[in-house]
Structure 1
Amino acid sequence: MKAAGVVVEYNPLHNGHIHHLKETRRITGADAVIAVMSGNFLQRGEPAFIDKWSRAELALLSGADIVLELPYRFAVAQASEFAEGAISILAAARCSMFCFGSEDGRIEPFRNALALLEAEETGYEAEVRRLVKTGISYPSALSRAYRSIADTAADGSPLADLTKPNNILGFHYMKAARSIDPGMTAFTIGRTGTGYHDLGADPDSGIMSATAVRQAVRTAGITGEVLRAVPVCTARAMDRFREEHGGFGGWDRFWPILRPLIIRDGAMRLRDVAEMTEGLEHRILRAALDAASFTEFMEAVKTKRYTWTRIQRILTHVLCGMDKDEFSRLRHPRYLRLLGMTPTGRTYLNQYKEDFWLPLVSRAASSDDLMLQADIRASDLYAVGTGGRPGKDFRTPPVMTD
């Protein structure tokens, strides 16, 4: 059996994601599609809209055959580390291919961009360092340095636009694959409908971004517009989660938990939080003392240098107790955490799991493994923040669909 991998968050799953899953199977010719999915906290430093078990089931109902959890250490990290963790898991699960959605929609511009930056690595990194010193954010420095090098490329080869969010992730997937498993074949499909952050529905396809779906549901509930943009299973999962938890995951619900943690820790302890930059801890503490809401807090903390996303990731680490020492020690995935499978997925696991590079974990158990402990801690805190019951990782078996 041939397996193709996808890296996903499904926050929540919508019709554009179903298109990606269908096209992945079609263009790769895969017998099984393996999804590596973030858990209850996401790459942009946000609590998931609905929990990881619900999202895993949606993935299985929509075209994935196996769902593996991306450990917290990589799920809440900058793009390069997010990609390295995800591709490592796909490689360990013996995926020979992976497919990502992108704004470019063709693989050649990504290959060209990767070759260019490898050839110009020294100059590129020097330019990034120079730009960061001017006070701009690290992602902005990366984009500007890339544009500077791309503008001087003489051969006219098409290059991926690395200012676009999905292109950026796709580039990092390909870069990670080159070092982790050069034999993996990369595919990409063009995103359909609206852009990553657009808040309306595409008038032709009816597709909405996940951001737009979340905002629409929070504002007006599951409206007709939302029902046109998501499959029935997603609508039902959102309705069920709202009924059981009194709402959805989001920072407004976690702010009453986060704020006292910031104040309790103080600047000295905050300094040791993963991804914290020297001096930012004082800004975060001052804002926590004064702000009445999460939005007010974020507006007080963010600057041109410290983006909203980066600050949210740091706050997630504060909430989940991830410090710099633990973050630096957990450099590579240590297991494959199974969240769910279809009959096809079960067949694949039975046939190949003995050849996996990492052990398969189907249910959490008491463990001294720091990476697994971080995953369980994050899930328990998510449960507390959304009015649920901690310990679900110990009680819940993998989701199985017919």
Structure 2
Amino acid sequence: MKIAGIIAEYNPFHTGHAYHIQKTCEKCGADHIICVMSGNFTQRGEPAVWDKWTRARSALLGGVSLVLELPFAYATQSAEGFAEGGISILDALNCVEYLSFGAENTDLDFMKRAAQLLCAESPEFRNILRQNLGRGLSFPSARAHALSHLLPEADAVVWRQPNNILAIEYLKAMHRQKSKLQPIPVERIGSGYSENALAPSYSSARAIRGAIKDGNDIYKNYLPDNASCSRSTPVFPESMFPFLMFQLRRMTVQEIGTIYGVCEGLEHRIFSAAKKAQNYNDLVFRIASKRYPHSRIQRILLHSLFGITKEQMRKLKLLPLYARVLGIRQDSIDLLSYLSAHAKIPIVTRAAEFPDSLLFDADLLATDIYSLFTKKIAPSKRDFTQKLIVI
């Protein structure tokens, strides 16, 4: 049985993702695709536009054989932590041969050189990085300029492209973990990751989310599973604002300083912004700077909402992983027994069967918090009542 893995958010699952799956199967001849997908919150520190079961169903209809949940503690980190969690799970399944990912640059040898350079962190690289940070650049920009200096075949723009950033992090994680996964880059086509406008062919997830928010039904043309998505209530970051302000305004500067991701006195900017902000975007804008981009601030705010400190995150990342199954195709049902026979980690199909784990508890809490953001507040403990998605 030949199995390929994909790590994704599918926020939402669109035609570009379906294209990626198709190309993955063509490139490696996989019998099955296993996707490790973010749960109800994403790497940008935002709630996913639709809940994890709706997005899992879309992925299954789009060609994925089985969907696993990437734990909250990894799904809401920067690209490095996101990649680390996904690679660790796929490796621990002990039967996945390939990792497929989208990238703007598909020269695998070149990307591997960049990944190895970042893993080695030579004195020269560290010195250039430190100089760039001293100029006030954000960490991603400072790193991109350091890479372009040491690998002059590509300029800094290449290393700032979102899919390339993730691709390098996947390769770094595979290098550090001595992974046996074979990387398969698939060229990203259509509009760029950060494009806000819908494109004629393949559009970015950001543009599609914007159309959903605006009530523009044209977004349905980009979703292979627009029927089930239309029945679900979309959620947007603004929904978090009252809950987030409640948390921030009851915290002292010192308490904010303990939150995961806060450093270099950033707690003072957050504390001050929480006194004045009128809405979610205003809050992020007041805190963000050239050194601290919006995505990093949004992750910090999300961890503030959950009260996750640096010490708690450190402990969470030391806990054993698991493979939480969100959904599976009926014609791939044999995968469950196959995984159980090979995997080095527990295969979880029912939340009630899983033993106590703080890492798993964070996933359960994420679902309960997410349920507060829907137009009609959903009951808690859905992880225990939702049946496995089988299509």
> TM-score, normalised on structure 1?
0.91
- Give the distance between the partners of 1:73 and 1:81, measured in 2 at CA: 9
Q: Find the counterpart in structure 1 of residue 328 from structure 2.
A: 341
Superposed displacement of residue 129, structure 1? 2.9
Q: Find the counterpart in structure 2 of residue 215 from structure 1.
A: 210
Distance 1:143 1:159, change over 3 A: closer
- Give the distance between the partners of 2:21 and 2:102, measured in 1 at CA: 10
Is the contact made by 1:150 and 1:159 (CA closer than 8 Å) also made in structure 2? no
Superposed displacement of residue 343, structure 1? 2.9
Letter in 2 for 1:363: R
- Which of 232, 239, 249 is the equivalent residue of 2:230? 239
- Which of 281, 299, 316 is the equivalent residue of 1:313? 299
Q: Is the deviation greater in 309-318 or in 248-257?
A: 248-257
Q: Report the secondary structure of 1:192's partner residue.
A: coil
- Which of 284, 290, 304 is the equivalent residue of 1:304? 290
- Give the distance between the partners of 1:7 and 1:360, measured in 2 at CA: 17
Q: Find the counterpart in structure 2 of residue 398 from structure 1.
A: 388
Q: Find the counterpart in structure 2 of residue 23 from structure 1.
A: 23
Superposed displacement of residue 115, structure 1? 4.2
Superposed displacement of residue 367, structure 1? 4.7
- Give the distance between the partners of 2:141 and 2:198, measured in 1 at CA: 28
Q: Is the deviation greater in 321-330 or in 15-24?
A: 321-330
Q: Find the counterpart in structure 1 of residue 175 from structure 2.
A: 178
Is the contact made by 2:108 and 2:185 (CA closer than 8 Å) also made in structure 1? yes
Is the contact made by 2:339 and 2:347 (CA closer than 8 Å) also made in structure 1? no
Q: Find the counterpart in structure 1 of residue 57 from structure 2.
A: 57
Q: How does 1:127-276 map to 2 (within 5 A)?
A: 127-151=128-152, 161-203=158-200, 206-223=201-218, 226-231=219-224, 233=225, 235-242=226-233, 248-276=234-262
- Give the distance between the partners of 1:374 and 1:335, measured in 2 at CA: 13
Q: Find the counterpart in structure 1 of residue 272 from structure 2.
A: 286
Letter in 1 for 2:149: S
Q: Is the deviation greater in 344-353 or in 15-24?
A: 344-353
Q: Is the deviation greater in 126-135 or in 211-220?
A: 126-135
Q: Find the counterpart in structure 2 of residue 388 from structure 1.
A: 378
Is the contact made by 1:271 and 1:278 (CA closer than 8 Å) also made in structure 2? no
2:366 pairs with 1:373: no
Superposed displacement of residue 62, structure 1? 0.5
Q: Find the counterpart in structure 2 of residue 97 from structure 1.
A: 98
Distance 1:314 1:352, change over 3 A: same
- Give the distance between the partners of 1:71 and 1:321, measured in 2 at CA: 17
Is the contact made by 1:5 and 1:36 (CA closer than 8 Å) also made in structure 2? yes
Q: Is the deviation greater in 174-183 or in 302-311?
A: 174-183
Number of residue-to-residue matches in the alignment: 386
Q: Is the deviation greater in 110-119 or in 53-62?
A: 110-119
Letter in 1 for 2:88: S
Letter in 1 for 2:203: M
Residues 155-211 of structure 1, C-alpha deviations (whole Å, 9 max, x = no match): x699993211001101111111122243210001111110001122333xx221110
- Give the distance between the partners of 1:104 and 1:360, measured in 2 at CA: 34
Is the contact made by 1:12 and 1:214 (CA closer than 8 Å) also made in structure 2? yes
Residues 45-103 of structure 1, C-alpha deviations (whole Å, 9 max, x = no match): 11100000100111111010110111011101111111011001111122111100111
Q: Report the secondary structure of 1:40's partner residue.
A: coil
- Give the distance between the partners of 1:201 and 1:108, measured in 2 at CA: 33
Is the contact made by 1:302 and 1:311 (CA closer than 8 Å) also made in structure 2? yes
- Give the distance between the partners of 2:272 and 2:194, measured in 1 at CA: 30
Query: Where in structure 2 are there 5+ consecutive unaligned residues?
Result: none
Distance 1:117 1:297, change over 3 A: closer
Q: Find the counterpart in structure 1 of residue 349 from structure 2.
A: 362
2:98 pairs with 1:111: no
Alignment root-mean-square deviation, CA: 2.0
Letter in 1 for 2:340: K
Q: Report the secondary structure of 2:281's partner residue.
A: helix
Distance 1:181 1:357, change over 3 A: farther
Residues 256-282 of structure 1, C-alpha deviations (whole Å, 9 max, x = no match): 111011001221211111111142112
- Give the distance between the partners of 2:156 and 2:113, measured in 1 at CA: 6
Q: Report the secondary structure of 2:101's partner residue.
A: strand
Q: Report the secondary structure of 1:98's partner residue.
A: strand
Superposed displacement of residue 331, structure 1? 2.3
- Give the distance between the partners of 1:292 and 1:194, measured in 2 at CA: 32
Query: Where in structure 1 are there 5+ consecutive unaligned residues?
Result: 243-247
- Give the distance between the partners of 1:62 and 1:75, measured in 2 at CA: 22
Superposed displacement of residue 137, structure 1? 1.3
Is the contact made by 2:116 and 2:172 (CA closer than 8 Å) also made in structure 1? no
Superposed displacement of residue 317, structure 1? 0.5
- Give the distance between the partners of 2:157 and 2:91, measured in 1 at CA: 24
Distance 1:213 1:157, change over 3 A: closer
- Give the distance between the partners of 1:280 and 1:157, measured in 2 at CA: 33
